[in-house]
Every structure is written in C-alpha cells, then in structure tokens.
Amino acid sequence: MLDTLSRDLTKEQISLLPTEEDICFYEEHGWYISQKVIPDEIIDEAIFGSERFYNSEKDGEPPINDGFSNWKPEDGYDVVRNNELVSWQNRQLRKLTLQPIIGAIAARLTRSNQIRLLDDQLVYKPPQDKSGKSAVGWHADKAYWSTCSSNKLITAWIPFHDCDELRGPLAILDKSHKWLGIEDTRFFNNYKLEEMEEKFRLAGRQVVKIPMELKKGQVSFHNCWTIHGSLPNYSNLFRLALAVHLQDSDNHYQAFWNKKGQPIHIIDEKLCRKLPNGDPDFSDPAAFPIIWS
C-alpha cells in the first residue's frame, strides 16, 4: 500500500460537515456542494501527481491491466483523457482520494457509519474546445455498477482548480435519481448532451441542468442514480478533476444478469479477494480502503 492517513478530523473540518438540512437537500436533489474542504497543498500535490502520471511515472499498479478506461500518451494529448484506478498508480492522487473529510461528508450524506473506496477516475479536458466534443455524456454511475447491491453509492467530484461553467464542470440533472427506468443510462462517451436532454424531455422528464461551479477545494457529491455528465471546456485553460467513487458500509456483491440473460461483471470484482462462497468481497481493505468509519 502506498500510504495511509489518520482518520481524525480537526474541529475546523468537523464544522464543515453537512448539516441535517444539507443531508435532506442531498436526499431530495441527489447532489450536494461542500464548502472548501480540501487544502490547496493537497490539491497542488495531486496536480504534481497527475503530471507524473501523465509522464508515465508510476508508484504502483492495479491487479488488472485491461477492462478499464486508461488513456495513454499514444492516444494523443489534445483529447479527453479518462484514467480509472489512478489511486493504485500514483501516491499523490491516492493521498487526495483517501482524504478522511471526503469520507466523512459522504458518510453524513448517505447516513452510513462507514465509507470505503470503490474506484476512482481522473478526467482531463484540453482547453479551447470549439466542437463540444470534450463534454462527458449523461450517465448514472449505478448503471455501470450493477453488481453492487447498494443504492447509496456516492461519488465525490474534485476539480483541481476553480471551475466555472466555461471550464467543463460536472453537470447534474436535478432530482434525476428519483426518475424511473434509468437503469441503462450509460452514455459517458456520448458528448451530444442536448440531444440526450431532448430525449429525456420527450419521455416526460423535467430536465433541470445544474453545472457544479466550484472553487478550488470545494467538492461536489452525487448519488449513484443521479444522472450527470460534464460540459465542454470552452476556456483557455485545461480542466482537470478527480472523481472518487465511494461505497457505504452495506454495499456487497450481487449477481446480475442483463435483459438478455447474460451475466454482468464490473472491474471492481477483479480488484479484490473472494468471500468463502466465491463472491467478490467488496469490503476487502486491500482493494477498497476504509476512508471513514
């Protein structure tokens, strides 16, 4: 393991945790924006870590080498770079991923007594996108995690700089975690956001799109069923952010078959040890460290 962190929060950090009103807002809307909770030094270290990562300097390896998004220099630099499992590979990004305050906020929002890592994703967008192709398409994270039993899985999205509407922020469809029939909303790679929005409207949904405009150090959180994507980066600066996908204490493996009766598997099953019955153990601390308890 690369490094571990103290689970203690300072008094000041405790004062930054969501209130009961914030939790009710999260439950109603499917998202929440924190105060500035990550110190600049930790983010600056993560920026340094991302530069090392993009220069192919690695501190570790995940136990699998395919089946996940893994941008490489040969894919070109002037594209959206999506790299999953970076916390296995880079110590500075791991340090940011495992910040206890992130787990503590997630625990409050999900009313859980423990938060474990599930996986993570570093997403870079080049500047000056004129085509709109740097948008990330509408999707619900849980639509990709069918073999996770919990509906309380939650994602923390951490931009590495101030991120206004023009710099490609995450965008949320308000209250969409309550929509029915969204089990197959897996359009991460479809940058045509408006086209999809029109389809949602035609299906009778009320589409309220909210960009997560954050200052450096703020973090947004969304429920695993909340439909989200991210806007194109029209600004003159790159956009860089880490998505930390988190499990509440109840989450465990569940077998899942798609509508055609085919068994579905997710990469996380290959990261961890097995339970005595042969199922993947989604509480294996070597793969899914406890971030907050």
Ligand X SMILES: O=C(O)CCC(=O)C(=O)O
Considering the complex, state which of residue 209 and residue 293 has its C-beta at the smaller distance from ligand X. 209
Considering the complex, state which of residue 122 and residue 261 has its C-beta at the smaller distance from ligand X. 122
Nearest to 156, CA basis, from 144, 166, 142, 170? 170
Are 217 and 37 a contacting pair, CB within 8 Å?
yes
Considering the complex, state which of residue 61 and residue 165 has its C-beta at the smaller distance from ligand X. 165
Beta strands in 56-114 (DSSP E): 81-84
Structure tokens at 32: 């929440």
Among 87, 147, 155, 218, binds ligand X (CB under 6 A): 155
Check residue 148 for interaction with ligand X (CB under 6 A). no
Are 120 and 37 a contacting pair, CB within 8 Å?
no
Among 119, 141, 213, 268, binds ligand X (CB under 6 A): 141
Nearest to 153, CA basis, from 104, 118, 189, 191? 118
Residue 180: CB atoms within 10 Å? 6
Among 98, 136, 140, 272, binds ligand X (CB under 6 A): 136
Considering the complex, state which of residue 17 and residue 118 has its C-beta at the smaller distance from ligand X. 118
Identify residues 225-254 at the interface with ligand X (CB under 6 A): 228, 230, 241, 243
Residue 203: CB atoms within 10 Å? 11
Check residue 170 for interaction with ligand X (CB under 6 A). yes
CB of 50 to ligand X, least distance (A): 13
Are 115 and 291 a contacting pair, CB within 8 Å?
yes
Check residue 123 for interaction with ligand X (CB under 6 A). yes
Check residue 93 for interaction with ligand X (CB under 6 A). no
Please tell me the count of residues contacting ligand X according to CB under 6 A: 10
Nearest to 154, CA basis, from 188, 109, 187, 211? 109
Residue 128 — left, alpha, or beta (φ > 0 → left; ψ -120 to 50 → alpha)?
left
CB of 201 to ligand X, least distance (A): 22
Check residue 157 for interaction with ligand X (CB under 6 A). yes
Considering the complex, state which of residue 83 and residue 230 has its C-beta at the smaller distance from ligand X. 230
Contact residues for ligand X, defined by CB under 6 A: 123, 136, 141, 155, 157, 170, 228, 230, 241, 243
